[in-house]
C-alpha cells in the first residue's frame, strides 16, 4: 500500500512525458516534385532539415519525421511523384510526443 502511494506521488511530481521514435528521412526526387514532397513531409509532423542538389539533377530532401506518421509513406510518395522518387529512413532519436498525440495514445491504452 505504501509503495503504491509513493509511486503515484512520485509520478505526479515527475511530470512524465510520452516519447516517440523519430526517423531521419532522405528523399531523392526530381526537382519538379520537391515542393510536393516537402509539403507531404510537413503534413506528417516532419521537420525539414534541408534540401541539396543531386548530381545530374533532382533534389535530396532531409527531414526528421515521427515513425507513427511514416506508415503508408511509400505509396503516397510513389503516387505524388509518379514513381520517380525514392526514400531511405533510419532511427534518429526519441522525442517528446505533442500533447494531442500523447492524449490520444493514453486514452486508447486505457480502454
What architecture (CATH level 2) is domain 18-109?
2-Layer Sandwich (3.30)
* pLDDT score of 111: 61
Q: How far apart are CA 89 and CA 6, in angstroms?
A: 41
Predicted confidence (pLDDT) per residue in 31-69, tens digit = 999 999 999 999 999 999 999 999 988 999 999 999 999
Mutual orientation of helices 73-80 and 34-43 as an angle, nearest 10°? Answer: 150
* pLDDT score of 9: 81
Query: Contact 47/95 with Cβ under 8 angstroms?
Result: no
Ordered by start, the domain boundaries in the chain are 18-109
Amino acid at each position: 500500500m505504501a509503495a503504491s502511494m509513493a509511486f503515484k506521488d512520485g509520478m505526479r511530481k515527475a511530470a512524465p512525458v510520452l516519447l516517440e521514435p523519430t526517423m531521419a528521412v532522405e528523399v531523392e526526387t526530381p526537382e519538379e516534385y520537391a515542393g510536393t514532397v516537402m509539403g507531404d513531409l510537413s503534413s506528417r509532423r516532419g521537420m525539414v532539415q534541408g534540401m541539396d542538389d543531386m548530381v545530374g539533377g533532382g533534389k535530396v530532401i532531409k527531414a526528421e519525421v515521427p515513425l507513427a506518421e511514416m506508415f503508408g509513406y511509400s505509396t503516397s510518395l510513389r503516387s505524388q511523384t509518379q514513381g520517380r522518387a525514392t526514400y531511405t529512413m533510419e532511427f534518429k532519436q526519441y522525442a517528446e510526443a505533442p500533447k494531442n498525440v500523447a492524449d490520444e495514445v493514453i486514452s486508447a491504452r486505457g480502454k
